[in-house]
Amino acid sequence: MDDETKSTLDILNEKEVRDLVVDMCSVLVEHGIVELHVGGLMRLLGISEEQAQEHDDEIMLLDSVEKFQQAQAETQIPPGTTIH
Q: Does residue 81 fall inside a structural domain? A: no
pLDDT at position 57 is 94
pLDDT at position 56 is 94
pLDDT at position 54 is 94
Residue 58's domain comprises 8-74
Query: Quick count: other Cβ atoms within 10 Å of Cβ 13?
Result: 9
Q: Does residue 3 fall inside a structural domain? A: no
Q: Does residue 79 fall inside a structural domain? A: no
Give this prediction's pTM.
0.60
Q: How many domains in the chain?
A: 1
Q: Does residue 82 fall inside a structural domain? A: no
Whether 57 and 11 have beta carbons less than 8 Å apart is answered as: no
Q: Does residue 1 fall inside a structural domain? A: no
**Residue pLDDT, tens place only, 62-72:** 876 566 666 66
Range of weakest confidence among 14-23, 27-36, 75-84: 75-84
**Residue pLDDT, tens place only, 32-44:** 888 989 999 889 8
